[in-house]
Each structure stands twice: as C-alpha cells, then as structure tokens.
Structure 1
C-alpha cells in the first residue's frame, strides 16, 4: 500500500531534493507541496496525507504553530519535522507540540527512509545526530522542575535495554539487528514499555530515562 506524503517548506530546492529522494523509496509518493503553513490545514484536510514533512522556520509562517493545529485537527496524519535547527529547546517544543519525528535536513536518503518507515509503523523517530541534545535538554528540564522519580516501573532488564536504544534514536530494525531479536519481538517490547510507563512519545521517554538515571549524557 502506498504511503502518501505532503511536503511543507518555503524553499523550492529543498522540496525538490526531498521529492527526488522519496521517489527512490518504494511504497511512498509525494501527493502535494506547500511553501508555507497559511493554507496547510485546508490542504491536508483535502489531500489527507499519511505523513507530513514539515519545516519549522518558514518566511511567512511558524511551523510550530502549524504543527499544533495539525495535531488537533488531523490526529491520524503523522508529522515528521525536517529542519536545520538543532537547538534543544526547539526540538523539545516540536516533540511536545505533537511531532512524531525530528529529522535534520542534511539527513541521507537512508535515514529519511528509516524515519518514514518508523512513522508509517506508528513509531517515533529521532535523528541520532540530535539524540544527545534531546537527552541534555531533558536532563536540564528534570533538574529545574525537580520531578520526583517514578518508583517500581516494572520494566524487565530486556525492556530497559530496548528503552535505552529507543531514546538514543535507534529504529526498531536497528534494535532488532543489534540484539539478535525479531522486529516483531522488539515491537512487542516497545508497546509493553509505553503501556507500563503510560508514556507514548520520545520526549517523554527521554525525560523518564534521565529522571530514573536509566541513561546519562555519557552513554
């Protein structure tokens, strides 16, 4: 089944480049493009894309504002941020506003495919290049908010191992290959982890791991 994509970026060359990369990935097609977020909601309601690739900084609109409106109006459409911004506050704001993934614009075709595949399978994707940045921001947030640790999270040793890999930005397939497990087994563990913790986004998982000292900046 074909996965339909909508590109939202105010640079025509960026849109052309992403479209060219996507054209080489089986199972995906770009069904529309937009240069700003002004008419984005109307366009998405008409086209109903499966995944929206959204830039944060555009000349005439704010991608984060558009993201919040999209998340409320079209909960079934996944949003993959495609940006050059690596500032921790910006990344966390995007994730908290409802982004399902965050990818840097200098990503390779392979990484774009991994990100799209993750979102298509109802997973989250965080570019490995910014995983350390997100962990650092989560640590700062945890310290400033003085959040109390969650006791008795009831995760097994294997689930903790998989959780560490998830918050480092590893895809399900990468985790499966690294641990010699099947993709289905990793997906089951991921689902159980989120259900037990009642956390269903990457930002929340990262913050939890920092609070509970499951992961540190030295990892």
Structure 2
C-alpha cells in the first residue's frame, strides 16, 4: 500500500498568466514523481489579490514574483508580515541583482529562485522551505551575504584558526562562493570533476556542513572568503 502523500497548498502570485500555467505544469510533474502533493488553491496577479486570497485560503506556501505592477513583491511581503501570515514565501524572480535578493529575504521570504533556473531548482526549493529551511542557490547565497556585509558595515569573521584548508581546497571554496558549478571549477583549476567533488567532500567535512549553500554561508561567516 502506497503511503499517503503530504499535500501542500500553494498560492501562485505572478502577473503573467502563461507563466502561472507553466508553474502549474511543473508542480503537476513534481506531484506525479514525488511523495508530496502540491495543490494550487489560487492564483493572483496583484498584491491586493494575493493578500485577499491569503486571508481566504491560508496557503501553506506562496510562490511570489517581484514584479506586480503597480506595486511589487516586496510590498506583498510587507503586507503579509503585517497580517502575521505564518506560511512560507518562495520568491520566483527574473531579478538577479543583489539589492532585490537582499530586500526580499529581509522582508521575510524563505527562499529565492531565478526564473531561468526554475526547471532545475524549483522542486528542491519547495522541499527546502516547507521543511523550515532557507533556500538560496550558491550564487544567490553569495549575493545575499555580500549585501548583508555591506549594510551592517561589519565583518562576520569569527576567526578561522580552527579551520585548516589546503591551498587547493581554498581555491575550490573561492570558486564555489562565486557560484561556479563543479564543471566550471574543474575547468578553472585544470583538474577533473571527480577531483573537485573530492575537495568539496573534504571542505564540507571540515566546515561541518552538508550542502553547497551551507558551505558558502559558513565560509562567509568565518571569513574564509571575501563576499
């Protein structure tokens, strides 16, 4: 007997009907291939509609665009915060500028995905945020912390005397923080992808992390790399 799927209620917020339909198609695919049900309970094309449907439907997850003329997704996040909305908000945006990423996360978003990367990242992003974790792809995590350092005016270095990376591991980490893939790191350092993976395994172990994003965040906090 198959286990009953957990069903996550979702509100889609984007002013482009064709884009919303594309997201529905992706969500249906994920539902059919995973042990989790993703049920779209409403669609909104504006901040007002999003707020109204949130109050009426109480979605567990909101997939939110940042372009909602005449307002924007940051306004929506602020309005949801005022309503004490206790669900999760995942940003799906074409904006890749550091400032937008920082503002969205500061306003209460639980994750940020670029629209041109949805096909490869949306499922993982949804799974991450509904499990009460923050989802930021490597390049986005770097951008977020770059702005965090800038606005606080402080270095988050806690000292790195206890972290001993080899010269090659440091080089791999530097490229990782810049958002490079394993293939790009291998090409830049003239080593094989298998060697890159081995170095990443060693780096993860030394930093006591289990993912690329966690490694980036911890490396920045420890001052092992510059944002």
Query: What TM-score do the two structures reach when normalised by structure 2?
Result: 0.66
Cα pair 2:149 2:155 within 8 Å, conserved? no
3-state SS in 1 of match to 2:91? strand
3-state SS in 2 of match to 1:216? coil
1: CA distance between counterparts of 2:119 and 2:146? 27
Q: Deviations over 1:121-175 (max 9, x none)?
A: 1111013343333343334335xx2x2657589x999xxxxxx999x7xxxxxxx
Q: Is 1:65 aligned with 2:75?
A: yes
Give the ranges of 4+ consecutive aligned residues of structure 1 lying more than 4 Å apart after TM superposition. 148-153
Instruction: Show the counterpart of 2:23.
Output: 18
Change in 2 beyond 3 A, CA 1:100/1:20? same
Cα pair 2:62 2:88 within 8 Å, conserved? yes
2: CA distance between counterparts of 1:150 and 1:128? 19
Q: Is 1:121 aligned with 2:131?
A: yes
Shift of 1:39: 2.8
1: CA distance between counterparts of 2:82 and 2:159? 33
1: CA distance between counterparts of 2:224 and 2:54? 39
User: 2:66 pairs with 33, 53, 56, which one?
Assistant: 56
Q: Is 1:3 aligned with 2:8?
A: yes
Q: Deviations over 1:77-124 (max 9, x none)?
A: 100011000110111000000000001111243310000000111111
Shift of 1:11: 0.6
2: CA distance between counterparts of 1:209 and 1:71? 30
Q: Matched residue pairs, number? A: 185
1: CA distance between counterparts of 2:219 and 2:108? 20
Shift of 1:59: 1.6
Shift of 1:45: 1.5
Question: Unaligned 5+ residue runs, structure 1?
Answer: 158-163, 169-177, 181-185, 191-201
3-state SS in 1 of match to 2:30? coil
Query: What TM-score do the two structures reach when normalised by structure 1?
Result: 0.68
